[in-house]
Amino acid sequence: LSGGMRQRVLIAIALAGNPRLIIADEPTSALDVTVQRKILDHLQRLVSERGISLLIITHDLGVAIDRADRILVMKQGEVVEQGPPRQILANPRHDYTRALIAAAPAFARRREPHARSDATRAPILRLHNVGKTFSLPKVKGEAPTFVALQDLSLQVYPGQTLAIVGESGSGKSTALRIALGLEKPTQGQVWFEQQDVTTLSWREFRPLRQRLQLVQQNPFAALDPRFTVFDSIVEPLVSFGRLKGAALEHAARELIGRVHLPVSFLDRLPRELSGGQCQRVAIARALALKPDLLLLDEPVSALDVSVQAHILDLLEELQREMGIAYVLVSHDLSVVANFAHEVLVLRNGKVVEQGTVEQIFNRPGSDYTRELIAAIPGSVAATAA
């Protein structure tokens, strides 16, 4: 079952006892925008048709503004403000509420991305007519196939952020795995800094792997729970035999400082850190080998809005200072609108359209892209405000 189907099953289970109240705890946090809208529409129909009360707990302020009749803003266990959504959005009284609204991508004034590197330079990553077909288990003697990607072409330049967006199953993760060298394309070519890496073996690709690194969606799952922060950060340096002894200690201190965490955190375990702190550690580890390209797989989707803003600010700072290129995979189009330079829209493994952030969000060329943008939580309220 897809994520949306699983959520509908959970809603059905919740309805089995004919409840008067449904408590929805982050009901859409792991879903893409169009599925989010369908789930929230379904919950609202239950409220209107059955007279059920709905309590939504969410870190997505856009969802709260769009769907609630009344909002309670909580900080450290206390209600700091409450009122109708439009009142909260237009006239927040508490500093914490104002900070939440300012940090929420759906309501933030769209930032002008910093000037990127000259696109006349050679691209750092290039995919040309890449396709990927998976073989499925045999059914009645036949071996069916699933086409995950078709004729995908893209280019990423030094200092540029390319975002890949689309619904679940659109091929985003497959494209990322091919770029990382974790999957071989069925057709097409992958070039990394003018070298065709499509046919390289794992051993041959290893030296290049130092120059492209991954930041995963779940920072807690990305870090070994038995490793201290120091062990996690220096793991790539040890694996590639870059540094030893005192040089490792110096590198760890430099990396932890670059992501704005105190040196004292080097002795901590992941369970002693917040989600945002864990993601900073994961970013520090990804920077250890001084890569030219970071692949960001939903890097802020598991974080609340204020922490999201801090992580995105950090990534922008690193890009300005180090000239790193990013490929961002995200289902959160609000984040994409505030962070990327270029956007590539995928649907069922095919490129629907590609262009600058301004082109895609202000002048989308396809009905599918317009549907994705219209489904962004809070977009209607933000426009009205």
Question: Which CATH number does the domain housing residue 343 bear?
Answer: 3.40.50.300
Domain end point (choices 70, 86, 103):
103
Question: Rounded distance, CA 343 to CA 358, Å?
Answer: 9
Residue 14 maps to a domain: yes
Q: Do 82 and 229 lie in a common domain?
A: no
Provide the CB-side half-sphere exposure for 41 (13 A, CA). Answer: 8
Q: Same domain for 171 and 235?
A: yes
Assigned domain for 174 exists: yes
- Alpha carbon distances (Å) from 373 to 45, 172, 358: 22, 17, 13
Summarised one tens digit per residue, pLDDT across range 94-103 is: 999 998 888 8
User: How far is Cα 311 from Cα 283, in angstroms, rounded to an integer?
Assistant: 9
How far apart (Å, rounded) are the C-alpha atoms in residues 274 and 97?
21
Residue 56 lies in a domain: yes
With respect to residue 75, please indicate whether it lies within any of the assigned structural domains.
yes
pLDDT on residue 2: 67
Three-class SS state of 71: strand
Are residues 305 and 180 part of one domain? yes
Computed over every residue of the chain, the mean pLDDT equals 89
Both tokens of 242, joined, read 């870059």
State percent of the chain over pLDDT 70.
94
In this structure, the answer to whether residues 298 and 215 fall within a common structural domain is yes
Same-domain pairing of 174 and 97: no
How many domains does the chain divide into? 2
Choosing from 65, 84, 103, the residue where a domain stops is 103
In a domain, 147, yes or no: no
Per-residue pLDDT band at 3 (split at 50, 70, 90): confident
Answer whether residue 50 shows pLDDT above 60: yes
Strand pairing report for 125-135 and 187-192: antiparallel
pLDDT for 80-139, tens place per residue? Answer: 999 999 899 889 999 999 988 888 776 655 555 555 555 567 899 999 999 999 988 877
Residues 87, 172: one domain? no
pLDDT at 35: 86
Residues 238 and 368 in one domain: yes
Last residue of some domain: 36, 70, 103?
103
Whole-angstrom CA distances from 257 to 197, 263, 264, 340 are 34, 7, 11, 25
| 350-356 and 195-196 beta bridge pairing | unpaired
Quick check: 379 pLDDT over 70? no
- Residues 91, 164 share a domain: no
pLDDT of residue 296: 96
- What pLDDT score does 191 carry? 95
Query: Which range has highest mean pLDDT (129-143, 200-214, 294-308, 340-354)?
Result: 340-354
Using the predicted structure, report yes or no on whether residue 142 has a pLDDT greater than 80: no
Has residue 59 got a pLDDT over 60? yes
Residue 147: pLDDT over 60: yes
68 found inside a domain: yes
In a domain? residue 252:
yes
Structural domain boundaries, residue 172: 157-184+197-384
Strands 125-135, 145-156: parallel, antiparallel or unpaired by DSSP?
antiparallel
- What is the predicted pLDDT for the residue at 113? 55
Same domain, 39 and 171: no
Q: Using the predicted structure, report yes or no on whether residue 380 has a pLDDT greater than 80.
A: no
Query: When comparing pLDDT for 149 and 110, which is higher?
Result: 149
Residue 142 lies in a domain: no
Residues 275 and 357 in one domain: yes
Are 95 and 166 in the same domain?
no
pLDDT for residue 107: 63
Share of the chain above pLDDT 90, in %: 61
77 and 223 within one domain: no
- The per-residue pLDDT for range 246-284, each reduced to its tens digit, is 999 999 999 999 999 999 999 999 999 999 999 999 999
